[in-house]
Amino acid sequence: MNVKSAAAQQQPTRRCQRSLMRITLIQMSLILAGVVVVLTGLSYFQLMRSLESHTISDLADYVTERGRHEDDLFQLAEDNHASLKSRFLQTLEQINEDVLLPAEMQEWSDGTIRNFPQNVSPEEFDSYKNATLYISSQTVNTSSLRQRMVAGNSFLAAYGAAWHNRFINTYLIFPENALVGYFPGVPWGLEIASDLDMTKEEYFYISDRRYNSTRETAWSGLFFDPVSKQWMVTAATPIDDVQGQHIATVGHDIVLNELIKRTIDVHLQGTYNLIFRADGRLIVDPQRMDLIQGNQGNYNIVNSGDAHLRRIFGAVQSLEAGQSVVTNSADDEYLAVTKLEGPDWYFVVVYPRSLLNSVALRSAGFVLFIGAIALILNILVLSWVLHYQVSHPLNQLLVTTEQVSSGNFNVTLDLSRQDELGRLASAFMIMSRELSKSFAQLEAQNDALELRVQERTQELSQTLVELRSTHTQLVQSEKMSSLGQLVSGIAHEINNPVNFIYANLDPAQTYVKDLLALVNLYQAEYADPSQSIQSFINDIDLEFVKEDLPKLLNSMTVGSERIRDIVKSLRNFSRLDESGFKPVDISEGIESTLMILRHYLHPKNGDSKIEVVRQYGRIPLVECCPGQLNQVFMNILTNAIDAIHEQQSQHPGYMGQIQIRTGVVNDGWIRVLITDNGIGITDEIRAKLFDPFFTTKPIGKGTGLGLSISYQIVTKTHHGRLGCSSVVGQGTQFAIEIPVQAIPSTSTIDEESSASTVECTTPTNSGRLPYYEEFAVLLGEDQ
């Protein structure tokens, strides 16, 4: 390399870095930019404090007014219940104690009493005009209950329809497990199961004295009605007599669809709303309505694994009296809270602080914009001054310096100037003469050194290639030999006990058949066994034993045969340590490899199963090293499985398929095609596919030796050909061609055939694999 040329190549970068004008401009620009940034930051923080104060005040006003609006429906329900309770007690006083149930009340076959014939379809009942009456089969029909049932029926006939415009139903449930219910469109009392105990349902027990000591209107949790497809909540108010005894519960089912829709859809820009009970039961959350419905309205924040929700709930619980807005610092948000006084629910507005940041940033951005304009004007003025006062006088000196740097030492400078620039020019002239001498010596030494480096590099490269190839072969040979010994030993140890079990299954089945025949003969001869024998027969379920025992033996036989097949495959695959060529069935080696890989063909992480399509042709026995050839099949099939799994990870539900075809290419040669519909290989990767240590897998999941060793086995050991063709996103095909008769190591193959192109097309398209009109594979072979 020419030393002068190197200096010339480096000079432009050196000049750019040492530009006096640029350095001065940068320093001044940084100082001015720092001032602008500081002012922008101060304005941002001042604006943030102001926005935060106003936002908290506005949020408090908004959530308070929103709470009043949303609470109207619940307050209306509670006011209605107070009126209903009073009117029911007035109606009850007007009913005689000896009153009888309505004439239409009939006892059904399940023991219940209802106000409609059992043999008539409930659809015939006019639920818009009449209430349904129901008395459980376990309920004692007392005069007190009849009096309340008649009063309730009269009461709902008068008022039920009037309240239907706001509440879908009105009902009275009595502690004796009886009901009078007005539910237009749903004959509730006629459809209640006979074993239903309404007193244990939430819509009743929330009014029981054990859960409601204040005897005021209570509210159930949210629930989803699968029939009407609506979200509802129940308001239940206990009715006690003058002695304080609980005699009835009046209830409404209130549809919350509009409240939920408003809560989800009507919100401040960038915020969202939540509703939950004081015990943590979540009522409305725009992001979790499916979870709430899936839990039938019983999704509790406290028991959930959602850390964000739990922090919101904890912050709301820690609110002090009179406080409407609290900060959730962990999630960088404000929580505006109000209570819906009716059901005692929390209505929460979640306001991310990032909204304030965006407003403050816009204002700060304007300040930054003005500062940037001022900065640009300052830089332009400063640039003009520096150019004419500093840069221009130095320009001539810089041009001369660049000529010296490029190797031209025959330069002339004006030495007449008496200032600093003149002294600098004189120093440059002396330096150029000294540099001319030094560069001449360096070039001579550099030429000699480069020659020596090239010679040593060639020697080291050749040695490294030989070492890596030898190391790869030794390591892989040792690994595969050890694997063969291990697999063979395991197969032998498994095979002995399995043969013992399998050999005993036939006589065991014969003995069982004889014993069962003997038992049947005993049962035929002694039709009336003793009590103890009959009891034992019943205990062991003899009929089931006679039926199931042969099935158990058959399943044991099938299992033993399966284990023997696996052992056979393991023993076939373990022929890795066999030396020399021998005639083998190629299909048997492929099947042994598929057996080893069977586990990886089954679904993994939700993927679909990988289908293996076999199309074995009629091929003769092939002289080869079976263990090494099995290793080739293992490497190629493993890569195919990995490629399909990657395709399935990108396209869930993708049906993976591997096709294996064997056949005779021409006289004396056979071909094995292995095709997959995996992710495919790019041309850049395919060019390096058989290079040692090349891999696309993450560190620790691949050595890059599999296909390189496979290539050596096919081309070097068997004097065959191995090639690959691929279409990205559609699939990959590997082609293996080897001679039927082993070729001696001293033989050579025609050089022309080593670069031949063979057509390698997929089997007929099955709808799962990509169909390529031509799949040309450039095959390489040993020369």
Instruction: Return the higher-pLDDT residue of 698 and 641.
Output: 641
Residues 186 and 281 in one domain: no
| Confidence grade of residue 770 (pLDDT, cut at 50, 70, 90) | very low
Q: What confidence tier does 758 reach under pLDDT thresholds 50, 70, 90?
A: very low
Q: What is the pLDDT confidence band of residue 473, given thresholds at 50, 70 and 90?
A: low
Same domain (yes/no): 206, 272: no
pLDDT at 659: 96
Q: What are the start-end ranges of the H helices in 18-170?
A: 20-93, 143-159
For residues 276 and 323, membership in a common domain is answered with yes
> Same structural domain for residues 616 and 765?
yes
Question: Given a cut of 60, is residue 2 above it in pLDDT?
Answer: no
C-alpha dihedral, 442 to 447 to 449 to 451, nearest 10°: 180
* Residues 220, 202 contacting (CB under 8 angstroms): yes
Average the pLDDT over each of 39-53, 74-88, 101-115, 330-344 and give the range with the smallest value: 39-53
Say yes or no to pLDDT of 763 above 50.
Answer: no
Residue 72 lies in a domain: no
Instruction: Say if residues 120 and 176 touch (Cβ distance below 8 Å).
Output: no
**pLDDT given for residue 15 in this prediction:** 47
Q: φ and ψ at 341, to 5 degrees?
A: -60, -30
Name every residue whose Cβ is closer than 8 Å to that of residue 110 and which is 6 or more positions away in sequence. Answer: 137, 194
Bigger pLDDT: 434 vs 564: 434
pLDDT: which is higher, 409 or 93: 93
CB 129 within 8 A of CB 115: no
Region 655-681 average pLDDT? 93
What is the CATH classification number for the domain harbouring 329? 3.30.450.20
Tokens 């960088």 belong to residue: 332
Question: According to the model, what pLDDT value does residue 245 have?
Answer: 92
What is the tens place of the pLDDT at every residue in 159-192?
Answer: 888 877 778 889 999 999 999 999 998 898 998 8
Predicted confidence band at 761 (pLDDT cuts at 50, 70, 90)?
very low
Q: What integer pLDDT is reported at residue 469 of this predicted model?
A: 61
Within this chain, do residues 626 and 774 fall inside the same structural domain, yes or no? Answer: yes
The answer, yes or no, to whether residue 254 has pLDDT greater than 70, is yes
Q: CA-to-CA distance for 160 and 497, rounded, in angstroms?
A: 80
SS3 state of residue 572: helix
List, as one string, the DSSP characters of 154-201. HHHHHHTGGGTTT-S-EEEEETTTEEEEE-TT--HHHHS-TT--GGGS
Give me the half-sphere count of Cα atoms (radius 13 Å) on the Cβ side of residue 225: 15
> What is the pLDDT, as a whole number, of residue 577?
45
Residue 48 has a pLDDT of 67
**Other CB atoms within 10 Å distance of the CB of residue 3:** 16
Number of domains within the chain: 4
Greater confidence (101 vs 43) lies with 101
User: From CA 24, how far away is CA 18, in angstroms rounded?
Assistant: 11
Model confidence at 452: pLDDT above 80: yes
User: Within a domain: residue 161?
Assistant: yes
Residue 692 tokens, joined = 């040692």
**Residues 6 or more apart in contact with residue 689 via CB below 8 angstroms:** 681, 707, 724
Residue 388 inside a domain? The answer is no
Per-residue pLDDT band for 289 (boundaries 50, 70, 90) equals confident
Residue 132 pairs in a beta bridge with: 181
Is the per-residue pLDDT at 94 higher than 50? yes
Instruction: Kindly report the pTM of this predicted structure.
Output: 0.42
Distance of CA 527 to the CA centre of its chain: 64
Q: Pick the last residue of a domain from 508, 535, 570.
A: 570
Average pLDDT for 182-209: 90
User: Which range (22-31, 88-97, 129-138, 238-247) has the least confidence?
Assistant: 22-31
Residue 230 β-bridge partners: 225
| Residue 122 pLDDT greater than 70, yes or no | yes
pLDDT at 644: 92
Domain final residue pick, 521, 544, 570? 570
Q: What is the pLDDT of residue 98?
A: 86
Is residue 63 a part of any domain in this protein? no
* Residues 242, 112 share a domain: yes
How far the first Cα of the chain sits from its last, in Å, is 38
Distances (CA, A) of 772 to 675, 725, 760: 11, 11, 9
CA 525 to CA 782: how far, in whole Å? 82
Of 75, 80, 71, nearest to 340 (Cα)? 71
Q: Where are the beta strands (DSSP E) in 558-701?
A: 582-584, 611-616, 622-624, 657-666, 669-676
pLDDT of 545 over the 60 cut = yes
Whether the predicted pLDDT of 762 surpasses 80: no
Q: Are 355 and 345 in contact (CB under 8 A)?
A: no
Please give the full DSSP string across 220-243, using - where no structure is assigned: ---EEETTTTEEEEEEEEEEE-TT
Assess contact for 731 and 775: CB atoms under 8 A: no
- The pLDDT of residue 97: 83
DSSP at 742: P
- Residue 231: pLDDT band (50, 70, 90) is confident
Q: 317 and 264 in one domain?
A: yes
Mean pLDDT of 746-769: 39
**When comparing pLDDT for 164 and 493, which is higher?**
164
pLDDT at 136: 93
The region of weakest confidence among 77-81, 295-299, 693-697 is: 693-697
Query: Which domain-ending residue is among 570, 605, 631?
Result: 570
Instruction: Indicate whether 240 and 275 sit together in one domain.
Output: no
Per-residue pLDDT tens over the stretch 584-620: 999 988 988 888 888 888 776 667 889 999 999 999 9
* DSSP conformation letters of 438-463: HHHHHHHHHHHHHHHHHHHHHHHHHH
Domain coverage including residue 468: 420-570
| Mean confidence (pLDDT) of the chain | 79
Q: Measuring CA to CA, how many Å separate 60 from each of 39, 65, 278?
A: 32, 9, 20
pLDDT tier at 106, thresholds 50, 70, 90? very high
Token duo for residue 518:
């003997």
Note whether 324 and 460 are same-domain residues: no
Going by pLDDT thresholds of 50, 70 and 90, the confidence category of residue 637 is very high
Closest by CA to 279, choosing from 199, 325, 352, 218, is 218
175 domain residue, yes or no: yes
Query: What SS3 class is residue 501?
Result: helix
pLDDT of residue 757: 35
356: which strand partners?
A: none
Please say whether the beta carbons of 664 and 617 come within 8 A. yes
Q: Give the pLDDT confidence score for residue 503 in this predicted structure.
A: 75
Is the same domain home to 655 and 545? no
Q: Is residue 40 part of a domain?
A: no
Q: What is the CATH number of the domain that holds 596?
A: 3.30.565.10
At residue 416, the pLDDT reads 72
β-bridge partners, 300: 281
Answer yes or no: is pLDDT of 211 > 80: yes
**Residue 222 pLDDT greater than 70, yes or no:** yes
Q: Is residue 44 part of a domain?
A: no
Higher pLDDT, 52 or 62: 62
Amino acid (1-letter code) at residue 268: L
DSSP character at residue 281: B
Res 734: pLDDT: 95
Residue 350's contacts (CB-CB under 8 Å, 6 or more residues apart) are 271, 272, 273, 274, 312, 333, 334, 335
Alpha carbons 741 and 718: distance in angstroms, whole number: 10
Pairing relationship of beta strands 657-666 and 611-616 according to DSSP bridges: parallel
- For the record, the structure tokens of 86 come out as 């009073």
CA 611, CA 598: separation in Å to the nearest integer? Answer: 11
The mean pLDDT of 279-308, rounded to a whole number, is 87
Is 400 a member of any domain?
no
Q: Is 591 found in the same domain as 680?
A: yes
How far is the C-alpha of 781 from the C-alpha of 319, rounded, in Å? 80
Q: Are residues 201 and 128 in the same domain?
A: yes
Q: Helices 392-405 and 420-525: crossing angle, nearest 10°?
A: 70
Whether residue 419 is predicted with pLDDT greater than 70 in this model: the reply is: no
Q: Is the pLDDT of residue 417 over 70?
A: no
pLDDT of residue 571: 61
Strand intervals (E) in 266-344: 272-277, 282-284, 325-328, 333-340
